[in-house]
Structure 1
Amino acid sequence: MARQPLDELMAPDWAAALAPVETNLRAVLGFLAAEVAGGHEVLPAPSNLLRAFRQPLAGVRVLIVGQDPYPTPGHAVGLSFAVDGATRPIPRSLANIYKELEADLGLPPRVHGDLGRWAEQGVLLLNRVLSVRAGGAGSHRRKGWEAVTAAAITAVTHRCSDDGAPAPLVAVLWGKEAEGVRPLLGSTAVIASAHPSPLSASRGFFGSRPFSRVNELLTAQGDGTVDWELPPLP
């Protein structure tokens, strides 16, 4: 990956947007190669490392900011809060997201954690740090990813529609870590609450109605709604 052109690693418009931080990205990929050479398992798998950037930048309508990938082998898939569709049980934070989705929109919780359907509709599920050492939560923080994802968030917030107006966008910030990107969001509509983790969900996440509020804000911006219902099985 460290030698592949950016437009082979991600959608072409993302490659153009992240070109200014390509040096940072190459440095992080080099660090990951060194981790693997040192006998450490790095998550997610290389094929999913930059998955958040596979869907075109131009199609992003919602930004949901996460922290770093799940450190349990087999869980991380390159999209914040999502896990592989075969993972059972799903992480507790995701289970709480499903509880709030049901309370908010009446949609049934799923047994799987494949959030690909959201990504296909322009929901950018972006962790601030895109890799982790297996078993070591937060182990790849301050290794260079933050500059890359900050550039990605900035690129999303600076897009314009054909008429020159800001492109429709709603940012969802769950928890203090996500709140840290607020200075990058400019005038973007923001929905913020506690994190869905079991440690904090009852302190403001439950009852925050993020899904219906996103749709209300998108509708007000003339961009329709997101169909938040996930298939019963991936």
Structure 2
Amino acid sequence: MDNLQPSLFGDPEPAPIPRYEPGDFPFHHGAQSMAERGFIAQDWVPVLQPLDDRLRAIAVELAGHSAAGEQILPEPHVMLRALRIPLSQVRVVLIGQDPYPTPGHANGLAFAAQASVRPLPRSLANIYKELNDDLGIAPAAHPDLSAWHERGVLLLNQSLSVQAGNAGAHQRLGWSAVVEAVIAALNQRENPPVALLWGRHAQKLAGLMDRMPQLASAHPSPLSASRGFFGSRPFSEINRRLSDSGQPPIDWSLPAL
């Protein structure tokens, strides 16, 4: 998906890069404000409130990057979209790395993309292939994983922002403290969710999830999927683990859009 719009003469021109102020990032205003405005679920407030100063600092730094001409992805209002699932309703934690760095792709959910994106991101296409092989669910024609999100799958990236065209650019921005607080809160729950850790980057967090049932394999990217991701049958195994802990299984099907 490109970033072009028609000019007065019918030729495409690059769309203007958005410029953001600190206040454009909902987390600049604190966790309680985010919950009141629907950006996160209310039961995440006690988890994030101790990090209000850290989140404000991230907003200020992102605004500085924006002022310097950097294109920030995704849009500020969806950076914490994964936390719109209430803490109490998370059944699976799927850890990603950072948002897709292509403008128009990232939507705030790990491995997912905007519904209109074609072709599908390659890692997601491999996920769909394994889903079909595991449970017989035909691959969706779109990359929108909102249905999984709504069913209790926390699609959480380790970095919640990225510079357009520069994957991993915001890994040292301070997001790690936020992600670790989220994981710690889930780990402390009476009935912790199942953790799905694809690739070494995600597996570095395993020590923070000692009370969670964990499934680990190679990453679904084209570079590593054949080294242990394909054939790992994670979806049926997650449902087995959920059943073992008295929780209902996940419906992994995705509706047509």
Give TM-score scaled by structure 2 length. 0.86
- Residue 117 of structure 1 is aligned with which of 123, 147, 156? 147
Letter paired with 2:230: F
Distance 1:3 1:195, change over 3 A: closer
Which gives a bigger RCO, structure 1 or 2 (Cα 8 Å, sep 6+)? 1
Q: Hey, what's the Cα distance between the residues in 1 that align with 2:211 and 2:185?
A: 14
Q: Is 1:5 aligned to 2:30, yes or no?
A: yes
Asked if structure 2 preserves the Cα contact closer than 8 Å seen for 1:73 and 1:134, the reply is: yes
Quote how far apart the aligned CAs of 1:79 are. Answer: 0.5
Matches within 5 A, 1:4-23: 4-9=29-34, 10-23=40-53
Return the offset for 1:33.
1.0
Partner of residue 105 from structure 2, selected from 75, 79, 84: 75
Match of 1:164 in 2: none
Percent identical: 53
* Secondary structure of 2:172 counterpart: coil
Give deviations 1:208-232, integer Å, cap 9, x for gaps: 0000000000000000100000012
Give the deviation of 1:168 after TM superposition: 4.0
SS in structure 1 opposite 2:100?
A: coil
Counterpart position of 1:183: 207
Query: Unpaired segments of 5 or more residues in structure 1?
Result: 161-166
- 8 A Cα contact 2:188 2:211, kept in partner: no
Deviations 1:176-209 (A, max 9, x none): 0000100100121000000000000000000000
Contact 1:168 1:222 in 2 (8 A): no
Superposed structure 1 runs of 4+ greater than 6 Å apart: none
- Provide structure 2 residue ranges, at least 5 long, that are not aligned to the other structure: 1-25, 35-39
Q: Which amino acid aligns with 1:102?
A: N
Give 1:28 deviation, angstroms: 1.1
Is residue 102–residue 164 contact of structure 2 (8 Å, CA) maintained in 1? yes
The amino acid that maps onto 2:31 is L
State TM-score, norm by structure 1: 0.94
- Alpha carbons of 1:51 and 1:153: their partners in 2 closer, same or farther (altered >3 Å)? same
Query: Residue 22 of structure 1: CA displacement?
Result: 2.0
Equivalent position to 1:127, from 136, 147, 157:
157
Distance in 1 separating the partners of 2:213 and 2:86: 21
Letter paired with 2:151: Q
Q: Which residue of 2 aligns with 1:63?
A: 93
Q: Does 1:157 align with 2:187?
A: yes
Number of residues of Structure 1 aligned to a counterpart in Structure 2? 227
User: Equivalent residue for 2:235?
Assistant: 211
Contact residue 110 and residue 157 of structure 2 kept, 8 A: yes
In 1, the alpha carbon distance for the partners of 2:101 and 2:177 equals 21
Which residue is 1:228 aligned to?
A: 252
Larger Rg: 2
Q: How does 1:189-204 map to 2 (within 5 A)?
A: 189-204=213-228
| Alignment correspondent of 2:67 | 37
For each residue in 1:88-116, what CA deviation from the matched residue of structure 2 results, as whole angstroms up to 9, or x when unmatched?
11100000000000000000001111101
SS at match of 2:197: strand
Distance in 2 (alpha carbons) for counterparts of 1:8 and 1:108: 40
Partner SS state of residue 125, structure 1: strand
Report how far residue 2 of structure 1 moved. Answer: 4.9
Give the Cα–Cα distance (whole angstroms) in 2 for the partners of residues 184 and 64 of structure 1: 14
Match of 2:55 in 1: 25
Q: Which deviates more, 4-13 or 94-103?
A: 4-13
